Amino acid sequence: MTATPAMRPLLVNPPIKSPLIGAGVIVPTTDGRGVLIGRRTTAGESPSWSLPGGKADQPGESFEQTAARELAEETGIVLPAERMRVLGVVLDHLAGWPRLTAAVLAPPSDDPAYVTEPHACAGWERRGLDELPEPMFGPSAWVLAQWLPNAAELPPGVHAYRL
């Protein structure tokens, strides 16, 4: 029997894109007064500053493993996943689909950072916590807010869960 329009179920909510799950990596300097950030130059986006990070796209990968892999892929800095610590997660829908970003604290490092993805990052710098540049990529700002004691409030529609 062929379904007629009256027999088809109604869509109460339109379909949404699959959730994007990833990690933002906070790499403090060894003196604890700075952090590694990059000049984000992703096509289709306004230039901004960003922490290392990216999608959890490997089967069975933890947030800590995602953070270690993305840090190595984007900067050449290799730090063990076992020394990474999840501080919390941030949920938003501002990009038009659900995005869940883990705030992951890496062990302090002053190792040199290299541009390995020039299509996405123009360079890496270490900046003092009191001199972070603007504009900051939204998820990176929200990840930093999970770590910094006096970070700015999250915008409407962004929800943070500290662990």
pLDDT digits (tens, 9 = 90+) for 94-137: 888 899 999 999 999 999 999 999 999 999 999 999 999 999 99
Asked whether residue 2 carries a pLDDT value surpassing 60, the answer given is no
Task: Report the CATH architecture of 20-162.
Answer: Alpha-Beta Complex (3.90)
Domain ranges of the chain: 20-162
CB-count exposure of residue 53 (10 Å: 0-12, 13-18, 19+)? buried
* CB of 24 closer than 8 Å to CB of 101: yes
pLDDT at residue 31, rounded to an integer: 98
* CB of 146 closer than 8 Å to CB of 87: yes
Please give the average per-residue pLDDT across 14-36, as a whole number.
91
